[in-house]
Structure 1
Amino acid sequence: MTLIICPGVHSPNLTAQFLATLPRDIGEIWVVPTDYPPYSGWHTLQFMRQVLPSPPSGSPPLGMIAFSAGAVGGMMAAQQWEQWGGKVRGVMAWDGWGVPRLGRFPFYRVSHDHFTHWSSGLLGRGEESFYADPAVEHLNLWQSPGEVWGWWEKGWGMRRRCSLLELLGEILPRLAD
């Protein structure tokens, strides 16, 4: 599995803390550098072209986890990668408020509160989604997913209480299949 991590506008230490929560055996992980504008799909795509085999159709399937402004650049890059013939297993947009669902790949929303979850859902809910309840600070979502509890929505009216880390543990294998 190849996993692309698209951080937002925040300290690299928060992304390091997020990465520490991921299983060690998930495969190759690439983090988009923080000197690139996270909201720029073009910059994210250029990074992907540097680190992944070319052409995209010859690259291994990839999954993407994008946070905040990084969800903007990540979604645009994933859509373009797919249009170029690359395989995208799925995109998880963490607090990607205002980011529309694009592409034909599976899409998962993660939100720090119910309002963000509801209002972002107007632009495409995704296959499954999660929102923190009780609400947490925006950056805490990324920094400490094991401490965030909320509701995992698996369809209209179907939901389950769990930690964000539990949801991540179940979605990551789907990004790798």
Structure 2
Amino acid sequence: MKVVICAGIHDLHLTQALITAFESSFTPLSQLKETGNLLVYSPPYPYLSLSAVGILQFLHDRLGSSKTAPPLIFLGFSAGVVGALGAAWGWQLMGGNVRAAIAVDGWGVPLFTNFPCYRLSHDYFTHWSSALLGESNDSFYADPPVEHLVLWRSLPTITGWWVHSDESHAQHRTYLTAAEFLSMLLKRHENEGVASG
């Protein structure tokens, strides 16, 4: 399994700060980096974060055929969620295995997919209003709220609520860190067979 990071339209140093923070405090992603299973899409122009075609080209350059490549999890931030979801759909249509997509502050981006999608938001309002465009069984919002860019740069240290439903569709909340939430999602999909919606 490989994780594809698709950042937004911001200084690339923020994504590097995130990866550095993961190295010291977030074991699953640091292990992925050590084993070469962490792919970071860093386009030459920030607006290309929106380009599903650019991300697909990047993946083909790194992985070859989508049909023989390992399963992917897409982790997108802000505007990068647009490109990440478009690329995930495209990768799947070309025969690739998409295990999940994780949208970090992808406000206004619909999450209607046939593979699992999850949201992380920098505050409750973003969490609530984003759910109107498709909610998942599991989501996270920061509490206390943080600034948009702080969420991406400091994911391992942000605390908040994991919102999840049980089999009877009753909603529950668990207080944890964003890193713990991401760790749970990665472990959930790590050994999964074929992705399903």
Tell me the TM-score range normalised by the shorter chain.
over 0.9
Aligned to 1:169: 183
In structure 2, distance between residues paired with 1:109 and 1:85: 25
TM-score w.r.t. structure 2 length?
0.84
In structure 2, distance between residues paired with 1:173 and 1:93: 17
1:112 aligns with 2:122: yes
In structure 1, distance between residues paired with 2:38 and 2:93: 22
Q: Which amino acid aligns with 1:93?
A: A
Segments of structure 2 that go 5 or more residues without pairing to the other structure are: 192-197
Q: Which amino acid aligns with 1:170?
A: M
Deviates more, 1:15-24 or 1:106-115: 15-24
Report percent identity of matched pairs. Answer: 43
> In terms of Rg, which structure is larger?
2
Q: How does 1:120-159 map to 2 (within 5 A)?
A: 120-155=130-165, 156-159=170-173
Give 2:68's match in structure 1, choosing from 54, 58, 73. Answer: 58
In structure 2, distance between residues paired with 1:86 and 1:102: 18
Aligned to 1:74: 84
**1:7 touches 1:34 (CA, 8 Å); kept in 2?**
no
- Secondary structure of 2:73's counterpart equals strand
Q: Which amino acid aligns with 2:181?
A: L
Q: Which amino acid aligns with 1:15?
A: T
In structure 2, distance between residues paired with 1:51 and 1:102: 27
Q: Deviations over 1:19-54 (max 9, x none)?
A: 121433224111111325111112111211211121
Aligned to 1:45: 56
Aligned to 2:194: none
Segments of structure 1 that go 5 or more residues without pairing to the other structure are: none
TM-score w.r.t. structure 1 length?
0.93
Give 1:25's match in structure 2, choosing from 23, 31, 54. Answer: 31
Give the drift of 1:175.
Answer: 3.5
Q: CA 1:84/1:103 → structure 2, altered by over 3 Å: closer, same or farther?
A: farther
Q: CA 1:50/1:102 → structure 2, altered by over 3 Å: closer, same or farther?
A: farther
In structure 2, distance between residues paired with 1:6 and 1:61: 16
Aligned-residue Cα RMSD (Å) equals 1.4
